[in-house]
Amino acid sequence: MPEVLKIGVVGGGGWLGGAIVDSILRGGLTAPENICLSYRSRRPERFPGSFWTTDSQQLADRSDVIILSVRPADWPFITMNARGKLVISVMAGIRLASICVRHDTRRAVRSLPNAAAEVGKSYTPWVAADDVGNEDRTTVRAIFDACGIQDEVQSERDIDYLTGLTGSGPAFPALLAAAMMEHAIGFGLSPEVANRAVNTLIVGAGRLVEHRHDPPDSVVDTFLDYRGTTAAAIKAMRAAGFDQSVAQGLAAAFEQSLRMGLS
Q: What angle do CA 38, 54, 6 make, to 5 degrees?
A: 40
CATH of the domain at 198: 1.10.3730
Note whether residue 1 is domain-resident. Answer: no
Q: Are residues 72 and 176 in the same domain?
A: no
Dump pLDDT digits (tens) for 17-35.
999 999 999 999 999 999 9
The predicted structure's pLDDT at residue 215: 86
CATH of the domain at 79: 3.40.50.720
Query: What share of the chain has pLDDT > 70, as a percent?
Result: 99
* Domain encompassing residue 142: 7-153
Q: Are residues 144 and 16 in the same domain?
A: yes
Q: Is the pLDDT of residue 262 over 70?
A: no
- Spatial separation of the C-alpha atoms in residues 258 and 190, rounded to whole Å: 43
Which residues, in sequence order, are CB contacts of 26 under 8 Å at separation 6+?
120, 146
| Structure confidence at residue 263 as a pLDDT band (50, 70, 90) | low
- Measured CA to CA in angstroms, residue 127 lies from 55, 87, 150 at distances of 27, 12, 11
Mean pLDDT, to the nearest integer, of 161-186? 92
What is the DSSP code (8-state) at residue 75? G
Which residues, in sequence order, are CB contacts of 247 under 8 Å at separation 6+?
none
| Structure confidence at residue 258 as a pLDDT band (50, 70, 90) | confident
Global confidence as pTM = 0.87
Q: Are residues 177 and 255 in the same domain?
A: yes
Q: Are residues 146 and 178 in the same domain?
A: no
**More confidently predicted of 115 and 87:** 87
Q: Are residues 142 and 186 in the same domain?
A: no
Q: Which long-range contacts (CB under 8 A, 24 or more apart) does 99-105 make?
A: 99/68, 100/129, 103/60, 103/66
Q: Are residues 209 and 97 in the same domain?
A: no
Q: Are residues 221 and 124 in the same domain?
A: no
**Mean pLDDT (the chain, rounded):** 93
Note whether residue 159 is domain-resident. Answer: no
Last residue of a domain, one of 126, 153, 180: 153
Q: What angle do CA 170, 176, 178 make, to 5 degrees?
A: 95
Note whether residue 2 is domain-resident. Answer: no
The predicted structure's pLDDT at residue 224: 93
Last residue of a domain, one of 153, 187, 206: 153
- Spatial separation of the C-alpha atoms in residues 110 and 191, rounded to whole Å: 41
HEC assignment per residue over 152-217:
ECCCHHHHHHHHHHCCCCCHHHHHHHHHHHHHHHHHCCCHHHHHHHHHHHHHHHHHHHHHHCCCHH
CA 28 to chain centre: 20
Dump pLDDT digits (tens) for 197-254.
999 999 998 888 888 778 888 889 989 999 999 999 999 999 999 999 999 999 999 9
